Structure 1
Amino acid sequence: MTASSLPRRARAAMRLPGWLGSIRTRIALVYSTILFGIAALVVGIIYLGLAHSLDDQPITRKVGDGVVVTADGRAFRFPIEQVDSYLYIEREANARALATLRQYSFGTLLILFASSVAIGWIVAGRVLKPIDDITAVAEEIQATDLSRRINLDRPDDELKHLADTFDDMLARIDQAFESQRQFIHEASHELRNPLAVIRTNLDVTLSDPDATAEDLRRTAEVVKRSTERMARLVDDLLVYARQGSLSLAHERLDLAEVVATSASEFDALAAEREVRLASAAPDGLWVDGDRLALQQALANLLANALAVSPPGSTVRVTAGREGPWVWMAVSDEGPGIAPEDHERVFQRFWRGDPRAGREEGHSGLGLTIVRQVAEAHGGQVRLASEPGRGAAFALWLPAAG
């Protein structure tokens, strides 16, 4: 029977007591045992060597009647009756010296034992201090705050590598949580536009008692296109969450159709906000790109423009060609954007100043996705705006050959 096959209670009963099972205690015991063992070995060797030397090689020896020779070869003559007494005294002195040495040796061993325990405990504490720091940081970290780092300041050793690896892991986890939060914001924002289009068109059609079959058909087509874009949005958001980029299809398409389709979807929303929506685009603006992604980008621009446009103003959707580039633009007569915010407006979660007419609850992801779509097509997005004079966003894309 192996230990893993024993019941949990039996395995728990086989464990060491809490004070004996701690890592610091075990390390202290190991260090103490090693230090005490080395010291005891040294003291024992010294004692045994001295005892053997005194026992086998006395300081003096008797070579004849009344003659005593010392260890250095000098000879002394004593009366015969005094020689045995002299040698007896020497043996007694040697025995007493060995006894004294034993006492000091045992005392030294006791002191060494206590010192080795203390040294082992201190060394174990210093060895485990970085691990205690790692544990303390890990206990303080919460899922909502992963900004803490260990930043262990010590020589470049195994524990330093462990702490740095833990910091790198925290950074990756923090980035994963941030990506998750961004995905949630992006999903909610991107799904809001087609849902608003569907709801507005259905409300307008259902509230009109004189709606004709043609009106119902047009509303159904708008709803169908919006649901298709929602389905594509869900797929793109899933791909983006897994790979960090949008998946784009490539087909030859005319931007005039993209402009006309997007403008028609926002007619009802513009009428509800009492904003005039005007569109103009010549045919033949061919590009190689993704129709739904471009409609998504244009829908974001239209939703932002209608959100900041005052009643009675006009939002224009236009398109054109200039050299090897084709463009489509959305302009409004809203509060405009300050020059220092022209770059920040495309950053994630940038919402602008609510006092300037920006929607305070806006997620700040729409323009970020517009730039992402433009760059994914090999183009760019530009902004022309002044405070109080509206804003114009333009997507510039390479023309199809």
Structure 2
Amino acid sequence: MTALGYIALSIGLLLIGALAGSLIARSAARRTAGKPAVLTVSDLVQRVVHSSHNGVVVLNSFGDVVLHNPRAAALGVVKGSQVDDRARKAAELVSQSGEVMEVDLSPLQSRVGRQPEAVRGEVRPLGDGFTVVDASDESDAVRLEAIRRDFVANVSHELKTPVGALALLAEAVLDAADDQVEVRRFSSKILHEATRLGRLVTELIALSRLQGAEQLPEMTPVPVDEVVREALGRSRLAAESAGIDIDTDGPSELVVDGDRTLLVTALSNLLDNALAYSPPDSPVSVSRRRDGDFVEIAVTDRGIGIALDQQHRVFERFYRADPARSRATGGTGLGLAIVKHVAANHGGEVRLWSRPGTGSTFTLRIPAHGASASSAGDEEQPRAEQDAADRDTTLVPTGADGVDTGNGVGSPDHGGKL
């Protein structure tokens, strides 16, 4: 064989070897890729700690931070590389006693941005001088407890008035048993107070269902015109008694997704509110329209109006812009709170435009039937925990001349008469 032949043979063998090596390497790579990565116990512990919803801090016998997760820093338990002094002192006691201890780690001073209001820590011994601080955000529980206390206090106060009145009136009836005129007069007052008490209890139950964990009725397509018609029927007697005519626009054939009973209740409450705060012979109107993925039902009155500094409070439970007028008309102070929660539970909101001496427009916004979930979700108010004062009301902005500048609420083309 010539030298040229040996060279060609060598090159061929080299190519074959390279190809075989490549195939073997690829096969080995595929086998390796199919196997899970080998994790040590230390790796798994690190992952568990860092993924925990609670703040976790491990301290040594000197109170130095050995390990902590990002949540601990977010809760303020760890700042830089130092643990909160309260946690460190508790860790020293736990290390000595060997018993679990709870410690309050709530922020002592305001920090920039959103921060937890209440942080509760549990310090546990790990042995060999090590301790772990397990901190959780208890802000929601604290806020809910504050809401519960305020609610019980308000309910107790509101129930005391009609119950006390019933007792006094019953005594008056007994004392005037021989005077038929007085008996009839006191009996009518007893009936009025009993009716008011019954309405208060009914609205308290409705509000507790809307705010509680009870499952709401299944949402179905509801014609808006039927909601308006039924709400007007409920308010007809009150309107006639007040000498007020309620004007409406023409049929709209609009449809929303919701619960018909709740929507009628919300609109009836808006109408009752307009009638209660309007002088006799003044106009009240109801209008409806489609605004993007939402349907708006607006109730407009020419009543006393609401001052700007009170507008953020009208949706609070038991708040009354004019207590004397509200009590005289039998108002419970819960009507607008119910409206707010009905709107929120439907993925909508209630808006307010008002000016003292001119009147008010309350606009109920509910997602239209067939509206995209993403579009409706952009403006949805959270139903879950609400702050103690329930003050997350959406206010419609007004211009310098008092004319509504937001979404046409209260403007002539929306049926309003402000």
Q: TM-score, normalised by structure 1?
A: 0.43
**Relative to total residues, which structure has the larger strand share, 1 or 2?**
2
